[in-house]
Copies of this chain bind each other. A is one copy, B any other.
Amino acid sequence: MPTASVGVFKIATKGPGDVSGLMAMIVSGAIDPTSILAVLGKTEGNGGVNDFTREYAVAALCAALAPKLGLTPHEVEQRIAFVMSGGTEGVLSPHITVFTRSEVAQRPAGISGKRLSIGMAQTRDFRPEELGRSAQIAETAKAVNAAMSDAGIADPIDVHFVQIKCPLLTSERVEAAAARGNKTATISSYSSMAYSRGASALGVAVALGEVTSDIRDEDVLRRYDLFSKVASTSSGIELMHNVVIVLGNSETSASEFEIGHAVMTDAIDAPAVVSALRSVGLEVGLGVAPQAKAGRELVNIFAKAEASPDGSVRGFRHTMLEDTDISSTRHARAAVGGLIAGLAGTGVVYVSGGAEHQGPAGGGPVAAIARMF
């Protein structure tokens, strides 16, 4: 396995179409465009079915990167994994995180232990009636294994975050399935986002041995005791297959970054956030201790949020699921985003909604990446 140099760059954006920050870093030489493997972004749409800020951001990035890579915008979209999570409710701040990877001859002298590594893979295209069901689970599991190999990670314990981009159903897609005599898991576009996210997360759980592999169609969005502690899945209208990005630590990496994670057991699990930060050597300052240890700084936090499906948090009723004005994913991102931002000291964090089978019901995974210097 060759040694990889993995970079992570967090860049604030002024709008979904803003590529100026990334372009400036390419022009200055800070980022080599040919090394860009994946871009995870938070855009300021509603995060729902009709959130066009995601595809707009991808279109803008592809158009801007195309001349830098000597490719067409469409070829850029095939080459780089773009995962845009819509919804920057509350204090969340729109930004992109750019992951780069390049080969290096050998590890620099000062680096020891496992360091941040990244790998990617993708599934075949799904048919609409496969979304939210066992076919999506099984294909995703295969892709997770492939992405681990790509990352130079053999042991599931070294996997700390698996980001997946997955499809959703539109009226058109539901019709197409019906025309072939097949029923989809749901006829609602909005609900289909949950089904697709859930099945994709279960695919991660299968791949990492977090659950057994005999999950049935009816377990999806029902058996919430089945989940992955590191899966983060986002559905979007622009694709019909799953794109899998594995983030973990590997001895094949010469990165100056490290990743760790914890699991929030519910939406107000502050200790889990603290634990995720501590897993990469960062302390939370609550008015007493300074926030950063010498030689370490926070790059970003990646978390999933959801309204607990039983309608309560620690025994007390929440109203997120019964609000016809604001979707529960927006509520959940705002609340969990507020907590994480408070503990991390910044709203420029990646909190994504819809944590079905990603962490326990009502909770979700939370990963942190730190830079060592």
Residue with the highest number of chain B CB atoms closer than 10 Å, among A12, A189, A322, A342: A342
Which of A15, A288, A334 counts the most B-chain CB atoms under 10 A from its CB?
A334
Complex formed: what's the CA distance from A12 to B273 in Å?
27
The docked-state distance in angstroms from the alpha carbon of A313 to that of B172 is 14
- How far apart are A67's CB and chain B's nearest CB, in angstroms? 11
CB atoms of A316 and B286 under 8 A apart:
no
- Contacts A316-B12, A346-B314 known; A59 to B17 CB distance under 8 Å? yes
| A window 143-185: CB within 8 A of B | 170-172, 175
Set of chain B residues within 8 Å of A93, measured between Cβ atoms: 313, 316-319
Q: Which residues of B contact A212 (CB under 8 A)?
A: none
A326 at the interface (CB under 8 A from B): yes
Q: List 16 additional A-B contacts (Cβ < 8 Å) besides A50-B319, A91-B318, A268-B338.
A: A15-B55, A48-B323, A49-B322, A53-B56, A89-B326, A90-B331, A93-B317, A93-B319, A94-B317, A170-B322, A189-B321, A190-B322, A191-B191, A270-B284, A270-B286, A270-B345
Task: Give residues in A with beta carbon < 8 Å to B.
Answer: 12, 14-17, 44-53, 55-56, 59-60, 63, 73, 88-95, 170-172, 175, 187-191, 221, 267-275, 284-288, 309-311, 313-314, 316-327, 330-332, 334-339, 341-343, 345-348
Contact across chains for A91 and B322 when beta carbons are under 8 A apart: no
A313 x B347 contact (CB < 8 A) = yes
The 10 closest A-B pairs by CB, nearest first: A48-B324, A90-B335, A271-B287, A335-B338, A338-B338, A334-B334, A171-B311, A270-B342, A339-B342, A56-B56
Instruction: Identify whether the interface residues of A are mostly helix, strand, loop, or mixed.
Output: loop
Asked if A268 contacts B91 (CB within 8 A), the reply is yes
CA distance A361 to B331 in the complex (A): 23
Chain B CB count within 10 A is highest, among A16, A48, A50, A285, for A50
User: Smallest CB–CB gap between A183 and chain B, Å?
Assistant: 9
CB distance from A85 to the nearest CB of B (A): 14
Using Cβ atoms and an 8 Å threshold, which residues of chain B touch A189?
A: 321-322
Closest Cβ–Cβ distance, residue A275 to chain B (whole Å): 6
A326 to chain B, nearest CB (A): 6
**A171 and chain B: residue at smallest CB distance:** B311
Q: Which B residue's beta carbon lies closest to that of A351?
A: B338
Closest to A170 in B: B322
| Residue of A15, A172, A285, A327 contacting most chain B CB atoms (<10 Å) | A15
